Amino acid sequence: MGLGNPGITYEKTRHNVGFLVLDRLAEINHIFISTKRFKSLYGAGRIDSERLILIKPMTLMNRSGDAVRKVLDFFQAGIEDLIAIHDDLDLPFGRLRFKLRGGDGGHQGVRSIIESVGQSAFLRLKIGIGRPPRGMDPADYVLTPFDEIQYSDLLQIVSRAAEALNVVVLQGIDTAMNRYQRKSTPLFQSP
C-alpha cells in the first residue's frame, strides 16, 4: 500500500512519495492500478509466482487505515502481508529504510493504519524526504512539492524503492535491507 493524498493538488508533494513508488512498482510489473473499491484504487498482479494487490487509498492520508481494514478483510490477508510505503521526515532525502513493527513515528497515515487494524506488526518502507527548513511547520512541509533539484533525483529514488520492494517479495526482507538500506550516507544529499 502506497500512502498519499488523492487529487491533483497533492500529486507531486512530499507526502505522496508512497503513491509514486507504488505507481513505479506497478509499471515495472505490468500491474494496472485502476479498480475503484475499498475507498481505494487498486490493481492485482504477480511478481513471478507471488500474487500482489497494489493499493492507493483514496481517503486523505490521516484516514488511510479505513482502506487498509477493508482490503485486508476482503482479501482475507493478515497484517503481516501488508507493506506500507510512506514518506519520512526524519530520514535524509533519498534514504530508504525498512521497519517492521513499532510506533507511527508521527506519521498520520501510519497512525491511522495502526488504529484501524489494532496492531503495528506490518512492514513499512520509509522514503526519506528530509526535515523542513527552520521555522516551517512539518505539516505544511509535507504538503509542498519537491524543489527542482530534488525532483530531478526523485525518479531514481522512486525506482530504487520499487526495486527494493521487488526484492522483498522475491527474496525476503533481509536481502532487501542488506541491498537497499544504507546506514552510512543517503542516496542524495539535500541542497
Q: Report the alpha-carbon distance of residue 19 to residue 70 in Å, rounded.
A: 19
Catalytic residue numbers read 15
Tell me which amino acid residue 103 is: G
| DSSP bridge pairs for 77 | none
Q: Report the alpha-carbon distance of residue 191 to residue 177 in Å, rounded.
A: 26
